[in-house]
Amino acid sequence: VNQILLLLLVLTVCAILYNKVHQVPLALRNETVDLESPEEMEEEIPVVICAAAGRMGAAVAAISSIYSNTEANVLFYIIGLKTTIPHIRKWIENSKLKEIKFKVVEFNPMVLKGKIRQDASRPELLQPLNFVRFYLPLLIQKHEKVIYLDDDVIVQGDIQELYDTKLAPGHAAAFSDDCDLPSTHEMVRSVGMQNTYMGFLDYRKQAIRDLGISPSTCSFNPGVIVANMTEWKHQRITKQLEKWMQRNVEENLYSSTLGGGVATSPMLIVFHGKYSSINPMWHIRHLGWSPDARYSEQFLQEAKLLHWNGRYKPWDYPSVHTDLWENWFIPDPSGKFKLTRPDS
């Protein structure tokens, strides 16, 4: 009996030791998986911003404002021409932005050959990077949903909120209507700015009248876009935009009209009645339309995104609300880009 009891005791001790030896690695493996899985599951938010010659400080300020106001996993796609890419890469890598996740993508302006009608009234609108938004699926290929931002914006909210914008079934993009926010109506009236299709399309042309779009229809601003890449490709949006660019070259349908929207007008045509809406506070516009017209400080503090669309940019002089923009500006380590100020 004693021998049997001794044998049982030995077996019990062996069983306990066996469990301890084999369970510790398993527990460690489980802990490792638990720690890594939330990071692996975190959704990546692709944000597309152009870095044009002479405006790189704008792209840097926009990126800085986004990065500083979110904990989201943002991947910046910085689009540039071959000649500008080394400058923007050096700027990022030698500043506090060196911690961001980014890819620099070269845009080939040859895709625009024969598609842009020259317009002397605002030649800056003819710069190749103004048309990057037309070619999003060709530049950004692995993402289902993409945010595109003009370079003359700053973001004061969490970019995750903009990314979470719901797109209706069958819609390839979401924009902000130019009539969507009563607070901006006074600004629009004070600078005589157009916010309807009449301001962008030449309704004297038969091709425009044949669209059946009322000239009093509210326009939208494509400086902030939340895009569904699957729908964009399925509907062949890029081909549609290129078609209207070519028709404008042949028939001058919109280049010389009041809005001067050589990049906006094709989008107004192609997306008419087929887009979702962005929260108006995520696109407060017109800050660059006049060096005098200003929003209230309280309204600007509540805004999630500010856009200096128009001629008067916050890195130049004169312009309005430059202090809000300069909060996010990072000086150029190479010294090539400088702010224009009254005392400079």
Cβ burial, residue 158 (10 Å; 0-12/13-18/19+): middle
**Domain residue limits, the chain:** 45-327
Q: Count the residues in the chain.
A: 344
Q: To the nearest 10°, the Cα dihedral for 213, 218, 222, 225?
A: -100
CATH number of 45-327: 3.90.550.10
Tell me which residue of 39, 144, 175, 154 sits closest to 101, measured CA to CA. 39
pTM confidence score: 0.86
Residue 289's pLDDT is what? 87
Tens place of pLDDT for every residue, the chain, 344 residues? 566 666 666 666 666 655 544 443 322 223 323 333 444 457 999 999 999 999 999 999 999 999 999 999 999 999 999 999 999 999 999 999 999 999 999 999 999 999 987 765 666 667 899 999 999 999 998 999 999 999 999 999 999 999 999 999 999 999 998 886 656 656 655 555 678 898 889 999 999 999 999 999 999 999 999 999 999 999 999 999 999 999 999 999 986 555 556 899 999 999 999 999 999 999 998 899 889 888 899 999 999 999 999 889 999 999 999 999 999 999 999 999 999 999 86
Cβ atoms 47, 149 nearer than 8 A: yes
Residue 268 in contact with residue 219, Cβ under 8 Å? Answer: yes
pLDDT at 17: 57
Q: What is the rounded CA–CA span in Å between residue 309 and residue 72?
A: 27
Cis peptide before 318 (omega within 30 of 0): yes
